[in-house]
Amino acid sequence: MYQLDGKVALVTGAGGKQGIGRSIATRLATEGASVAVCDLKDVGTPDWAGLSAVVEEIKCQGVRSVGLTGSVSNSKNVASLVEATLSEFGKIDILVNNAGAPAGPDRVPVVDLEEDVWDQVLSVNLKGTFLMSQAVSRHMIQRGGGGKIINMSSVSGKKGAARFAAYCSSKFGVIGFTQSLA
C-alpha cells in the first residue's frame, strides 16, 4: 500500500465512534503517519470515549497522535488547530477536510429552511474546508515540501435532492473549491 512513515496528517471530523474521519485517521496511522485528529468537541458516550479513544487507537499502532478540539468554521479556531499540530509534530504533510455539519434541521423543504440553519451547514461544510485548506496550504508553501489536501464531498455535490438544499449546496461548493484549489 502506501508508505507514510515520517508524514504528519491532520484529520478533521475524526472523533466519532463510527465514521469516515475515524477510519481515515486510523488508516493513515496504519500506513505510518503521525495523526492529529480533531473534532468540534470531545464528546463521549457510555460506550465510547470520544476523540481520546481515537487518539489511543492510533497510538496503539506505534505512531504519535494528538486530539484537538475546535470549530473549522472559525478562522481563530482553525489557526489554533494548525498551530497545535505544528507545535506537536513540526509539520503537516496531509490535510483531510472531513468535518461536516450534522444532519437535522436542514432536512426540510427550501420554503421551511431557516437562514441560520443554512448558514451553519455552509459554514462548517464549505467555509471550514476553505479555512483549513488556506491555513495548511500556507504552511505547506512556506515549508517548501508540498503536501496533500483531501476534501470530502458527497454524491450530493453532483446531484441535488429534495429537502437537502443546504447540504447539497455546500457539497457542490466543496467540489468547485477543490477544483479551484488544484
Q: Write down the domain spans for the chain.
A: 8-181
pTM of the model: 0.94
What is the predicted pLDDT for the residue at 19? 87
pLDDT along the chain (182 residues), means of 10: 89 91 97 97 72 95 97 98 99 98 91 97 98 98 95 92 95 97 92
31 SS3 class: coil
What is the predicted pLDDT for the residue at 18? 83
- The CA distance from 61 to 146, in Å, is 26
Nearest to 95 by CA among 142, 131, 148: 148
Cα torsion at 160, 165, 171, 175 (round to 10°)?
A: 60
What is the predicted pLDDT for the residue at 2? 65
Q: Which fold has domain 8-181?
A: Rossmann fold (3.40.50)
State the catalytic residue, choosing from 89, 130, 164, 167.
167
What is the predicted pLDDT for the residue at 1? 53
Active site residue 167: yes
